[in-house]
Amino acid sequence: MRITDNMMVGNMLENLRNNKEKLNKLNQQLSSGKQFNEPSDDPIKVTTSMDFDTKINNYEQYQKDVNNAKSFLQTTENALGDSGKVLQRANELAIYSANDTLNSEDRKSMAEEIKQLRNELISIGNSKLGQDYIFSGQATNQKPLEVNTTYDSTATNPPDNQYVNYKGDHNRILRKISDDDKMKVNLNADNAFKDNIETLNNMYEDLKNGESGEKIASYTTKLQDGMNENTSMRAEVGAKINRLDLIDNRIDENLLNTKRLKSKNEDVDLAKVVTDLKMSENVYQASLSSASRIIQPSLVDFLK
Amino acid sequence: MFDGLHIGLSALQTQKKSIETTGHNIANANNEDYSRQKAIQTTKQPNLLPGSNFQMGSGVKVADIERIQDEFINQQVREESQEAGYWDQIQQGMERIEYIFNEPSDSGLQSAFDSFWNSLQDLNTNPSDTATRAAVKNQGMVLTKAFRNINEQMTDYKRSLNSDVDKTVNEINSIAERISNYNKQITTALASNNKPNDLLDKREALYNELNQLVTVKGSTDDVGNLNITVDGKKLVSKFDTNTLKTQQNGTYEDEIVVDLNGKEVKVNPQGGGLKGIMDVRDTEIPTYLDKVDEMADSLKEQFNKKHSNGFDLNGNTGNDFFRINSSYDRASRGIEVHPDIKADDGINKIAAGNFSEDPNVVTGEITDSSNIKTDRYYNVKISDNSGNFDYEIVDSEGNHVYSDTNVPEGTELKFTNFNLTLNGTGETNINFNKSVGNGNNASALAETINQDQVLNGATITDNYQALISTVGVNAQRADQMKNSQQDLVKQLGNIKESVSGVSLDEEMANMIKYQQGYNAAAKLITKTDEMLQTLMGMIR
């Protein structure tokens, strides 16, 4: 084929341009650490990366939600633990009073203590986490247990014989802890505390009215029922906390895995890029050297 | 005797013209548009020697100065240039579109979706907290702004392409004008039997330039005019040109028209850079904008549906969260967080609560709020029956309330004070009090973003990923086509250069050749002169 000078120069420039482009791309990869910048660089990898980004975002959010749910349950568990102690103490007093040698001084101080225990239980029932009441169902702005204004110690029928009224609702608080799972995290004071409060209140009234030691002692049945129920509720809450721990660990693993996969998808293999870069540099230098020789002497230089 | 002088003279003149042609080639060695020329030497008309029957040669003359080129290769180069011009424009357009979408990044639409989802999950945990609600409003605004951003940038780019079309049309007109001028000059020269090689080079260079801009068909007629048509309509016809004009059509795009026999006719470029620009403007951008609109529409529809079914901090249902301002032509431009939500105290109108624990199973609305019992809740169990539903409703004590089989999805059950709508299989509780700590709707709202398959059988975010994938694939293809076309044009260009280009070595050798010829011719004249002198000297 007939070769002209323009062809040689043109081809040389074209090759230089191509080599430089290759060099540039490798440099970009090395400095950014990423295999691609634009979707056109590798459309499938880019959408995979977007998917991973969202998954990582969601895992981290769910971890936050799981930890919030755990706090709620832990506060609940602590409250149940405290109420267990309250009932325990009341029970001790009840057993002690089976001893009929209680005098009126003893009765007065026991009554006072039972009153305090009753009020303590009400206060536990009105526990808060942050701004929210945790035993009020979904009515988290509403104090669950309020002293009944129409309470009459002589009344025999509700509502007047009830010392406290439950003002919350009976709804379940459901927390979304994964794409497919919701967990109920709350107990309400109506189920968990009200009966025990009324029991303590009645015990207090009986003590005030000077009832017999036997009568006082008979409260152990109700109190022990209350303690058992309390323990079983506490166990359920504990089991939920354990489950959330397991979920938390699983999310940790998933996070680690996904981050690893994302890195594998996106990040350059440094060794490979550096090697390729070195090679490209060599090729570029060779083409530069060859280019310089294109500006050859032609026949013009040999004619006088 | 004098014939010798004439022969010598013819040789001198011919070698001189040949050297000048060589010199012309050398001078234009770097002229891209130049086709090398060759002086064709041929013998002059021989003379019949009187008194004999043989002819005497009478020397040499330049018969023609030939322009060396291969028309077939030239045409191939032009055709592939059209393709190259087209894909170059497409590639530039796709590059810009990729840039507008800006994925993957933490400031694109995907990231806005993720943050909005986060805020809704937080709302499920903390439905009554002011800061949490404000975050939902803010992330919602970030999301709608991301949509509008994409729309505005694409629309601006589309508008700028209009001026690109105008510019290209002006260039085409200018080239056509100059070609018609050359037509005049060339036909005039040809008529007086001159071969206007340099003019031909110039006209061809313009014609090549034209081919990159738009696909045209050209033919040379008998008298040397290059007549050009574009999309079948006359562009250059002998010495006249038809000027292309642009005008706006109904959708504010510049389209091209030409005056044909007094009537304005539309011109559709069939290829070349101009078609590339118009395809980006009229096909690529609208396709992608349509998809983004689709997503915005679906987001508003599905989200608002769930949102208005839930209740807000004031206990009200029926609120919208998103709005599409209909004074804009595209949903992606008009989508915004509803002004009621953005107003003071608007965050109280965010419907975090829902009567139903799982709105995907069943939803309810109050029909008689004066008599509704808010302390009752109902357990609703819906199971699948070959595409329809069987359902059972029991109250909080476990007493059976109602059940039925084989009812269609979406059935509405009317009770005294409320209605229930059956949405999907599953089991859930529903009751009608409106506590502020109810976050049931928040998690359902979060699901519209990335769990509910509401658009083309996939989630909204799935649709967005598919769109980015499409953009990436199209951009990649445009890049590859542009590169392979440019390589092809380069290769063909090399072949053309091989035929028509100037090789300095060759010209040098030719120069020597002609110079020697000139020297020899000069010698011939000297010798002939000496013979004449001798002859003259003989007669005293």
Closest partner CB to B124 (pick from A136, A141, A176): A176
Specify if A12 maps to a domain: no
In the block, which residue shows the tokens 């002589």? Answer: A154
Confidence (pLDDT) at A138: 93
Question: Average per-residue pLDDT in chain A?
Answer: 91
In tens, the pLDDT along A42-83 reads 999 999 999 999 999 999 999 999 999 999 999 999 999 999
Has residue B442 got a pLDDT over 90?
A: yes
Closest CB from B98, B357, B490 relative to A14 = B490
Confidence grade of residue B303 (pLDDT, cut at 50, 70, 90): very high
A55 in the same domain as A162: yes
Res A210 pLDDT > 90? no
Dist CA B540 CA B538 (whole Å): 6
Name the pLDDT band for A127 (thresholds 50, 70, 90). Answer: very high
B476 touching A, CB under 8 A? yes
Mean pLDDT of B319-338: 94
The answer to whether B233 touches B214, Cβ cutoff 8 Å, is no
The tens digit of pLDDT for each residue in B87-111 reads 999 999 999 999 999 998 889 999 9
Distance of CA A242 to the CA centre of its chain: 13
pLDDT digits (tens, 9 = 90+) for A147-204: 998 888 888 888 888 999 999 999 999 999 999 999 999 999 999 999 999 999 999 9
Task: Please tell me whether residues A280 and A233 are part of one structural domain.
Answer: no
Is the distance from CB of A235 to CB of A71 less than 8 angstroms?
A: no
Over residues A130-157, the mean pLDDT reads 91
B54's CB contacts (< 8 A; 6+ apart) are none
Chain-centroid distance of CA A77 in Å reads: 17
**CB-based contact (8 Å) between B70 and chain A?**
no
pLDDT of residue A192: 93
pTM of the model: 0.90
Adjacency order of strands within the sheet including B362-366? B362-366, B418-422, B412-414
Contact B34, B502 (CB under 8 A): yes
pLDDT at A142 over 90: yes
Q: Are residues A103 and A204 in the same domain?
A: yes
A256 with A274, same domain: the answer is no
CB contact under 8 A, A176 and B490: no
Q: Is B508 on the interface with A (CB under 8 A)?
A: yes
pLDDT level of residue B540 (50, 70, 90 thresholds): low
Segment A262-267 long-range contacts (CB within 8 Å, at least 24 positions apart): A262/A49, A262/A52, A262/A53, A262/A56, A265/A45, A265/A48, A265/A49, A265/A52, A266/A34, A266/A35, A266/A36, A266/A45, A266/A49, A267/A33, A267/A34, A267/A35
Proportion of chain B above pLDDT 70, given as a percent: 99
Q: How much is the average pLDDT of B108-116?
A: 96
Q: CB–CB of B234/B216 below 8 Å?
A: no
Q: What are phi and psi of B220, to 5 degrees?
A: -95, 130
Of B121, B377, B466, the CB nearest to A176: B121
Statement: residue B257 has pLDDT above 80 = no
User: Max CA-CA distance within chain A?
Assistant: 144
Coil vs helix vs strand at B330: coil
Which residues, in sequence order, are CB contacts of A109 under 8 Å at separation 6+? none
Listing from the earlier edge strand, what are the strands of the sheet with B377-385?
Answer: B400-407, B388-395, B377-385, B426-431
Q: Fill in the amino acid letter for B11.
A: A
Give the torsion sign (CA, B200, B202, B208, B214). negative
Contact A173 B439 (CB under 8 A): yes
Q: How far is CA B420 from CA B192, B271, B357, in A?
A: 97, 60, 13
- pLDDT score of B528 more than 80: yes
Smallest Cβ–Cβ distance between B128 and the set A62, A68, A141 belongs to A141
Q: Within a domain: residue A179?
A: yes
pLDDT score, position A293: 82
DSSP B462-496: HHHHHHHHHHHHHHHHHHHHHHHHHHHHHHHHHHH
Share of chain A above pLDDT 70, in %: 98
Tell me how crowded residue B373 is: count the other CB atoms within 10 A of its CB: 12
pLDDT-wise least confident of A290-299, B333-342, B435-444, B531-540: A290-299
- Domain residue limits at A143: 50-260
Cβ atoms within 10 Å of B418's Cβ, excluding its own? 21
- Do A125 and A93 share a structural domain? yes
Question: In the predicted model, is pLDDT for residue B115 greater than 80?
Answer: yes
Q: What per-residue confidence (pLDDT) applies to A212?
A: 77
Could you tell me which residues come within 8 angstroms of residue B408 by beta carbon, excluding any fewer than 6 positions away? Answer: B388, B389
Task: Yes or no: say if B58 and B64 are a contact pair by the CB < 8 Å rule.
Answer: no
A212 and A81 within one domain: yes
Q: Would you tell me how many other CB atoms lie within 10 Å of the CB of residue A160?
A: 13
List, for residues A4-22, the tens digit of each pLDDT value.
888 888 888 888 999 999 9
- What pLDDT does A100 receive? 66
Q: Residue A110 in contact with residue A102, Cβ under 8 Å?
A: yes
Q: Which residue of A has its CA nearest to B496?
A: A7
3-state secondary structure of B216: coil
Please state which of the ranges A229-238, B40-49, B445-454 shows the lowest mean pLDDT: B40-49
pLDDT the model gives residue B377: 84
Asked if A171 and B438 count as a contact pair (C-beta separation under 8 A), the reply is yes
Inter-residue contact B277 to B164 (CB < 8 Å)? yes
Of residues B521 and A302, more confidence is placed in B521
Residue A136 dihedral angles phi and psi, to the nearest 5°: -110, 20
Check residues A101 and B353 and name the one with the higher pLDDT: B353
Q: Distance between CA A289 and CA A278 in Å, rounded?
A: 17
Mean of all residue pLDDT scores within chain B: 92
Average pLDDT over residues B236-260: 81
Tell me if A45 is assigned to some domain: no
Report whether pLDDT(A290) > 80.
Answer: yes
Confidence of residue B252 (pLDDT cuts 50, 70, 90): low
Helix (H) or strand (E) holding B229: strand B226-230
Q: What is the per-residue DSSP string for B269-298?
A: --SHHHHHHHHIIIIIHHHHHHHHHHHHHH
Q: Which of residues A262 and A300 earns the better pLDDT score?
A: A262
Residue B260 has pLDDT above 80, yes or no: no
- Split into its structural domains, chain A has a count of 2
Q: How far apart are CA B138 and CA B126, in angstroms?
A: 16
Report the CATH number at residue A107: 1.20.1330.10
Same domain flag for A167 and A300: no
The domain segmentation of chain B, as residue ranges, is: 2-68+508-539
A146 and A69 in a common domain: yes
What is the H or E stretch that residue A24 is in? helix A5-32
Question: Which positions in chain A touch B310 (Cβ < 8 Å)?
Answer: none
| pLDDT at residue B1, rounded to an integer | 65
Determine, yes or no, domain membership for A5: no
Chain B CB contacts of A7 under 8 Å are 494, 497-498, 501
> With contact defined as beta carbons under 8 Å apart, do A55 and A258 qualify?
yes
Amino acid at A252: D
Do A4 and B497 make contact, defined as CB atoms within 8 angstroms? yes
DSSP output for B247-270: EE-TTS-EEEEEEETTEEEE----
* Residue B338, number of CB atoms within 10 A of its CB: 19
Mean pLDDT of A222-237: 95
- Could you tell me how many CB contacts below 8 A there are between chain A and chain B? 175
Collect all residues of chain B within an 8 Å Cβ-Cβ radius of residue A139.
433, 435-437
Tell me: pLDDT of A115 over 90: yes
Let me know whether A178 and A282 are in one domain.
Answer: no
Using the Cβ of B435 and the Cβ atoms of chain A, whether some distance falls under 8 Å is answered with yes
Per residue in B59-86, pLDDT (tens digit) is 899 988 999 999 999 999 999 999 999 9
Q: Is the pLDDT of residue B466 over 90?
A: yes
Question: Once rounded to an integer, what is the mean pLDDT over residues A200-227?
Answer: 87
Which residues have a Cβ under 8 Å from the Cβ of A235 and sit 6 or more positions away? none
Q: Is the ipTM of this complex over 0.85?
A: yes
Asked if the Cβ–Cβ distance from B111 to A11 is below 8 Å, we say no
Minimum mean pLDDT among A136-140, A291-295, B289-293, B495-499: which range? A291-295
State the smallest CA–CA distance between residue A248 and chain B in angstroms.
Answer: 16
Return the pLDDT at A53: 94
Sign of the dihedral defined by the CA atoms of residues B334, B335, B340, B342, in that order = negative
In tens, the pLDDT along B414-430 reads 988 889 999 999 999 99
pLDDT digits (tens, 9 = 90+) for B261-279: 678 888 889 999 999 999 9
**B 14-33: CB under 8 A from A:** 29-30, 32
Residues A247 and A292 in one domain: no
**B193: pLDDT strictly greater than 90:** no
A166 and A298, same structural domain? no
pLDDT of residue A160: 85
Nearest-neighbour CA in chain A from B513: distance (Å)? 13
A173: nearest CB among B437, B466, B493:
B437
Do A301 and A250 share a structural domain? no
